[in-house]
Structure 1
């Protein structure tokens, strides 16, 4: 597995190439790669967010039966 810096560098380059290798897009692509890395790291450390099992189940706790 690549180091944090190598992962970000590689991802930023991929994003920059998709943007047409415009010099003015370099910082934006780097920032996006950092954000993606941090988001992925956070999820791997804490796990994905759990969904509320009552949402969409048809139960309405405010409704009387």
Structure 2
């Protein structure tokens, strides 16, 4: 099914829903279709403009291994040269 087919199916379903909600009036199919198309387009537009969810603080930072974390916290002491 193509995206155009999917859109048409969604419009068809929405138009039918509108028709049922209005008590199944005769002769209103074109108005229902246009309303359904507007509803589907508005729904699609809201999906496009929706901002992605925020990540937890520090979620994108790679965690260091315990050994690397320990060495990052404590600087190593310089080794003393032995006297000979």
Aligning the two structures, in what range does the TM-score lie when normalised by the shorter sequence? 0.5 to 0.7
Find the structure with the greater CA-based Rg: 2
Measured in 2, the distance between the counterparts of 1:40 and 1:18 equals: 19
Q: Which has the higher contact order (CA 8 A, sep 6+)?
A: 1
Q: State the match for 2:40 in structure 1.
A: 37
Q: CA RMSD, aligned part only?
A: 1.8
Contact kept? 1:8, 1:33, Cα under 8 Å: yes
- Structure 2 alignment gaps of length 5 or more: 52-84
Q: Structure 1: which 4+ aligned runs deviate by more than 4 Å?
A: none
Q: State the match for 2:54 in structure 1.
A: none
Measured in 1, the distance between the counterparts of 2:27 and 2:7 equals: 24
User: Given the two structures, how large is their TM-score scaled by the length of structure 2?
Assistant: 0.49
Q: State the match for 1:6 in structure 2.
A: 9
